[in-house]
Amino acid sequence: MFQTRLSPGIAGPLAMCLGLCLGLTAPVAAIADGWDRNADFRIGKHDFGGADRRDISFYPRYWKLDACGLNVPVDRARWQISNKVKDKGWPRQRTEFKASEAMNSYTQPMDKFFYNPTVIVTYACGPSKTTPKAKLADFMSRNTGGSDYRVEWGKPAVLRHPDFGEVYFAPRALVYQSGARYSGVSAYWLNTRGDLVGIRSSIEEMNAKPDYSRLPDWNTAFTQQLILATKPLK
């Protein structure tokens, strides 16, 4: 479905991490890649260049989510970012990253052009007495679909993060009556402060042509590697 070309400086450590950090029921596809002459590291499907609608990736630059105690691997210039903060309840903060490939650009606003973002990644965090495992189970039980779509859940599993420990996740797909499909992962863990952190990804599937393939296993692996690249705020 895709080709993986790891740069020499990344291949060894990443392969070791994928072997030691993941406690999954099935192997995780290695989708990371080196790119350009500087061999900088980013996560995602990016054999096509940033201006190509098939390219979705997170850069190695990090942005601080102070309220969540996280450094997230994202270049702010490529994504439309929104924050929602509240004084009580969970989450206290929700940060959403959106990209619309239909516009062939990651830097222009989407909504006023009536394009739905085709890539959405959301971080949420805050104090909670609920464990990550229980939070995932509750979310899965309450999210089964709506008037024009259904939710298909995969088997829950555990991703082992080198800094955060156990990350409880499950593959998730939104299947619309129109035939459109969006898939990704819902996951929860505790940050180093003891707060509950969640991440949710929804990525439009593409399978019209072999080189456009972006199916559930790829979208799951993309989010898993994004989680592994997320770091505690120091």
% of residues, the chain, pLDDT over 90: 38
At 105, list the tokens.
């650009």
Tokens 């559930």 belong to 216
CATH, range 62-232: 3.40.1000.10
Domain ranges of the chain: 62-232
Output the pLDDT for position 186: 98
Average pLDDT, the chain: 73
pLDDT at position 189 over 80: yes
Compare 185 and 19 and report the one with higher pLDDT: 185
Residues 73-96: pLDDT tens digits? 876 666 778 899 999 899 999 999
Instruction: List the single range of 38-47, 148-157, 160-169 with lowest mean pLDDT.
Output: 38-47
Give the model confidence (pLDDT) of 26-77 as tens digits: 333 343 333 333 334 556 655 454 445 555 666 667 888 998 999 988 766 6
Residue with tokens 């929860």: 188
User: Which has more confidence, 113 or 89?
Assistant: 89
Tokens representing residue 50 in the block: 């940033």
